[in-house]
Copies of this chain bind each other. A is one copy, B any other.
Amino acid sequence: MRENIANLRPIWTDPGEGTVKVIDQRKLPHAFKVMDLETVDAVIYAIREMVVRGAPLIGVTGAYGVYIATANGGDRAKDDAWLAGVADRITAARPTAVNLAWAVNRTLAAVLSEKSVQNRINRAWREAGDITEEEAENSRRIGRHGLSLIMAAAEKKSGGPVNILTHCNAGALACVELGTATAPIYAAHDHGIPVHVWVDETRPLNQGSRLTAWELGRHGVPHTVITDNAGGHLMQHNMVDMVIVGTDRTTYTGDVANKIGTYLKALSARDNHVPFYVALPSSTFDWTISDGLTGIPIEARDPDEVRFAPSKPRIPDHLLVPENSPAANFAFDVTPARLVTAFITERGICQATETDIRRLFPDKRYLP
């Protein structure tokens, strides 16, 4: 049953064809489908409809969107304003994850530094590829740094696996490989440290029970799916040794936007003296916003995602509420820095304070 999930990337290219392919994550875990991204509209659709999701992955996908615009744009690819407009459209597909704007803007800037259409196409392809490989390397480094925390927890325990709770999917499927929150978990498992993961279901779209459970299972990592309601009880009864989550945008002051419900787990971790770690590459830091609660835009998605069960292929959508009951669907919340034990980044581990973040990223402060 064991597969090396690190080899399974949710996005890849065919350099011969110049095409971009992604796993359609809406169909997991019950079907494995690949979608070709051939147009900018397809890229925007894939990001908005969550064919691809996860901050690093939508960044990479957006970067390839700029490549696709350039490659398919004909003469318009000479027009800086047109390219900037396309980049804005891609960036607007989802508001919360800062990686999308970061990767799109970086690829756009690279394109605009070239003159001829052919050079622009080549440059976009190269830049998107660079971002992809940098994010893969970031995940590997996050895994190595986070491994030390899990090893320390294992040493502190007198037997039994290290129990790690995670929310949503900050796994290989959210990144290029290995994931952010899952990278230390895969590293520990591969080093023979016994780990067990409590997988929050993560309503409404069930990225935990659908995606995290799927990729942990493929890699052979022991795990148990729980409702989003359960983590507090588990922490009260010493059944959680640490929480590790990803993030869609983290301010340089340490406030963490992540999938709705993360804040509740952080509160519970604090109340029960359980370490609460956030794993992220530097591309997820927002170097412009100081107050996450007021500054980070929180996406409100279609209320029908709450009103219906996540659909398994070929089973009709499933109404969970009375026909006339409305629903609200805020997709993210912000966990204040005070509740975060530490960040696990590609450069190492740091406290959730402006001082410590700046110490680790002196080159990036205040630069969008």
Complex interface: chain B residues within 8 A of A233 (CB): 260, 263, 298, 330, 332-334
Complex interface: chain B residues within 8 A of A199 (CB): 325
Q: Bound complex: CA of A231 vs CA of B231, how far in Å?
A: 15
Given contacts A202-B229, A224-B327, A225-B328, 18 further A-B contacts (CB under 8 A): A1-B324, A29-B323, A201-B203, A201-B306, A209-B320, A209-B327, A223-B326, A226-B329, A229-B260, A229-B333, A230-B328, A232-B263, A233-B263, A233-B332, A236-B333, A267-B267, A309-B309, A318-B318
Query: Would you call B310 and A236 a contact (CB within 8 A)?
Result: no
Stretch of A67-75, A210-218, A242-250 lying at the B interface = A210-218
Among B214, B260, B265, which residue has its beta carbon within 8 angstroms of that of A227? B260
| Size band of the interface chain A makes with B | 35 or more
Give the residue among A202, A267, A310, A322 with the most B Cβ atoms within 10 A. Answer: A322
Query: Would you call A307 and B229 a contact (CB within 8 A)?
Result: no
Question: Which residues of A are interface residues toward B (Cβ below 8 A)?
Answer: 1, 29-30, 198-199, 201-204, 206, 209-210, 213-214, 217, 223-234, 236, 259-261, 263-265, 267-268, 271, 293, 298, 306-307, 309-310, 312, 315-316, 318-330, 332-334
Query: Would you call B268 and A264 a contact (CB within 8 A)?
Result: yes
Which 6 A-B residue pairings sit nearest by Cβ, starting from the closest? A229-B261, A309-B309, A233-B333, A29-B322, A213-B325, A267-B267
Complex interface: chain B residues within 8 A of A217 (CB): 322, 324-325
Complex interface: chain B residues within 8 A of A29 (CB): 321-323
Q: How far is the CB of A76 from chain B (nearest CB, A)?
A: 41
Q: Bound complex: CA of A326 vs CA of B315, how far in Å?
A: 22
Q: How far is the CB of A189 from chain B (nearest CB, A)?
A: 16
Known: A217-B324, A224-B326, A316-B315. A232 touches B209 (CB 8 A): no
Complex interface: chain B residues within 8 A of A232 (CB): 261, 263-264, 267, 333
Query: Would you call B306 and A226 a contact (CB within 8 A)?
Result: yes
Among B206, B227, B260, which residue has its beta carbon within 8 angstroms of that of A261? B227
Q: Bound complex: CA of A264 vs CA of B200, how far in Å?
A: 14
Q: Show 15 residue pairs from A and B whose CB-CB distance is below 8 angstroms, ordered by the A residue.
A: A199-B325, A209-B306, A210-B321, A213-B321, A226-B328, A227-B228, A229-B264, A232-B261, A232-B264, A233-B333, A233-B334, A264-B265, A264-B268, A267-B271, A312-B320
